[in-house]
Structure 1
Amino acid sequence: MSTELNKQVAREFFRRFDAKDIAGALATMTDDATWWLAGRPEAIPTAGVKTKAQIARVFQAMMDQLKDGLRMEVTGAIAEGDQVALEVVSHGELHNGRTYRNQYHVLVTVRDGKISAVKEYLDTQHVVEVWFTPQT
C-alpha cells in the first residue's frame, strides 16, 4: 500500500473511535494485531502489550467510565513504508467528574490495508491520576 493509503487507514481508526464506534475502530485492525501502551504494567494495568481482544476490553472499560465517549483528534500524521506516526489529542469527561485530556504519539504499522501493530506513547502520570487513583 502507499503511504497515503496507510495514513488513511490509521486516521480511520481514530475517526471511528472518536465517533464512539469501537467495533468499527477494531474492524480496522488485523485479527492478530497487537497494541503496546506506555508505562509499567505493575503501576498501570493497561500498560504493556495487548492482543486485539485485550485492547477491545480496555476500550470498553474506558467507554463505560466516560459520559460521552473519548474525543480523539489526529493533529498530524507522517508515513514511511508500512508505518504511520500520528500526533493525537483526546478529551473526555468521566462519570466521576474527572476530565481526561491527553496527548499521544502513536506509531501504527499497516499490513494488507489493516492495522497490525500500535505503539501508544502518552502522559502516563495523567492516566494514573484520572483512571486509577481513588477519589478522596
Structure 2
Amino acid sequence: PEGITFTIHGMTAEGDRVAVEAESLGRHVSGKMYNNKYHFLAQLRDGKITRWTEYCDTELITDILCGGQRPEGTA
C-alpha cells in the first residue's frame, strides 16, 4: 500500500555485463513485510539492455505476495 523501495548494496561492471546486488522492502496489503534479496545481471549492447536475469527468493514471493498458494502436488 505504501509502495516498495529497492536498495542497491553493490554493483560490478565488466565488459558488456553489469551485476547488481539489491534488496526490496515494503508492506503487502496483508500487513506482512516483504523483504527480498536480489541479484540482477544485465547484458548491454549499444547502450541498451539486451538480456536481463534476476535471482531472488521465490519461496518468499509465494508466501507473501501469493498468500502461500502453490500448485497442487508441490510442497
Structure 1, unaligned runs of 5 or more = 1-66
Which protein is richer in helix relative to its size? 1
Distance between the aligned counterparts of 2:2 and 2:46, measured in 1? Answer: 33
Corresponding residue of 1:117? 51
Q: Deviations over 1:62-121 (max 9, x none)?
A: xxxxx1221011110111111101100110111221211001111111222122221100
1:82 aligns with 2:21: no
| Identity score, percent | 38
**Counterparts of residues 45-56 of structure 1 (less than 5 Å):** none
Query: Does the 8 Å CA contact 2:28/2:65 hold for their aligned counterparts?
Result: no
Q: TM-score, normalised by structure 2?
A: 0.81
Q: TM-score, normalised by structure 1?
A: 0.47
The two structures, once aligned, show a CA RMSD in angstroms of: 1.6
| Count of residues in correspondence between the two structures | 69
Structure 2, unaligned runs of 5 or more = 69-75
Q: What amino acid maps onto 1:69 in structure 2?
A: G
Structure showing greater Rg: 2
